[in-house]
Amino acid sequence: MKTAQEILNHILNPYNNKLQEKRCLKKIIALMPRKYNKYITSCLLKGDILYINVSHPALRQEIFYNKNIIFSIIKSFHSANQCLNINPKKIVTMYKYKKIPKPPKETKFFLKEAGDFEIKAKKKDLKKKFEEIKNLINSKSF
């Protein structure tokens, strides 16, 4: 019988490289200066290009001009024998404008009185029961 660790290794083995890459990218973002990592929404590595999505257009330019910070963080990881699979040659920063969602419009509706309804039953027994219900509702004040 397989242990739980063997089963997890078997399931996650095809995705291990991608998971390791995502962990390393999160570490890189965490080690960046606070004014940068606060506005970074995501990172993606495709081939030799590191794509960084930011939530502010001014920060896009600032990260692009100070990309040597990212390269130095990656170099420090490599010297510690970590994140060796991440070796970007180029860094691209992107900003995409997202509209702030508007609150839903106010819907107006009108309430009818509870005891004011039409009885459409055709059977006498049902019609009698509905009339009793209607009388009970009208007799109680809410």
Q: Which pTM was predicted?
A: 0.60
Task: Classify residue 37: in a domain, yes or no.
Answer: yes
- Mean pLDDT calculated for residue range 22-49: 88
Residues 140 and 73 in one domain: no
- Please tell me the predicted confidence (pLDDT) of residue 111: 72
- Mean pLDDT calculated for residue range 131-141: 80
Task: Classify residue 6: in a domain, yes or no.
Answer: no
- Mean pLDDT calculated for residue range 137-142: 69
pLDDT bucket at 79, cuts 50 / 70 / 90: very high
Q: Is the pLDDT of residue 19 over 90?
A: no
| 79, β-bridge pairs | none
Task: Classify residue 4: in a domain, yes or no.
Answer: no
Residue ranges making up the domain that contains 113:
105-142
Residues 27 and 49 in one domain: yes
- Mean pLDDT calculated for residue range 68-82: 91
- The CA angle 111-117-119, to the nearest 5 degrees, is 160
- Mean pLDDT calculated for residue range 7-30: 85
CB 123 within 8 A of CB 83: no
Q: Is the pLDDT of residue 141 over 60?
A: no
Task: Classify residue 100: in a domain, yes or no.
Answer: no
The residues, ordered by sequence, that sit 6+ positions from 102 with a Cβ below 8 Å of its Cβ are: none
Q: How many distinct structural domains can be found in the chain?
A: 2
Q: What's the rounded Cα separation, in Å, for the pair 141 and 75?
A: 78
Phi, psi for residue 40 in degrees, rounded to 5 = -80, 120
